[in-house]
Amino acid sequence: MPHAVYPGSFDPLTNGHLDVIRRSAAVFDRLTVAVVVNPQKREPMFTLEERYAMLTECTNDLRNIEVADFRGLLADFVKEIGADVIVKGLRVISDFESELSTALMNRSLSDVDTMFLMSDARYSFVSSSLIKEVFLLGGDVSSYVPPPVLKMMNARHKKLRALRPTT
Ligand code: PNS
């Protein structure tokens, strides 16, 4: 019964992430989508609770998925829950460069391998940070994030605008 872990910041969840989640859920018996508590990249747009909620809502049709959160080392979390494999998506060559060392370190720390799915070509240029940048500059990101996530982004943007001084 292979149990896989798909870790990430999911700030926000994109259609690229969702594609990897759906394809992984079809291959592994059980998939834990693991949200890192403190993303190392800048100030997050969404809280842990909001990222958790978007993942839960967008995967509620998949029976073998659970959403969890972790802090600290991924290798420790994987050992703690007894998972067999880590899953990651690979978009472009530059992903490979950083993922290679990460996968080797994680295997060295936990004895758990990382398996990679090639991103769907439709999403090979989609990243959470790019989505946030385009969105905050007024671009249309509706093709790249699931509808519930777009709704949350619009709500967040409205709140930010309301807080902004008018002078
Ligand atoms: O979606 P992201 O931001 O690309 O996901 C990165 C993530 C969460 C997978 C990575 O930052 C991670 O594994 N963080 C946990 C800390 C850790 O284990 N670091 C050592 C990696 S060898």
17 belongs to the catalytic site:
yes
pLDDT at 158: 78
Mean pLDDT of 4-24: 98
Q: What is the mean pLDDT of the chain?
A: 94
Report which ligand 1 atom has the smallest distance to the Cα of 74: 18
Q: Which amino acid does the sequence have at 117?
A: L
Residue 123: CATH number of its domain: 3.40.50.620
Compute the distance between CA of residue 11 and CA of residue 46 in angstroms, rounded to an integer. Answer: 6
Residue pLDDT, tens place only, 78-134? 999 999 999 999 999 999 999 999 999 999 999 999 999 999 999 999 999 999 999
91 belongs to the catalytic site:
yes
**Two tokens, residue 65:** 């998925």
Helix and strand numbers (H, E) in the chain are: 6, 5
Does residue 41 have a pLDDT over 80? no
Report which ligand 1 atom has the smallest distance to the Cα of 17: 1
pTM greater than 0.85 (yes/no)? yes
Q: Which domain holds residue 68?
A: 3-163
Cα(162) to centroid of ligand 1, in Å?
33
pLDDT at 157: 82
If one counts the domains in the chain, the total is: 1
Residue whose CA is at the smallest distance from ligand 1 atom 17: 73
Map residue 126 onto helix, strand or coil. Answer: coil
Does residue 52 have a pLDDT over 90? yes
88 belongs to the catalytic site:
no
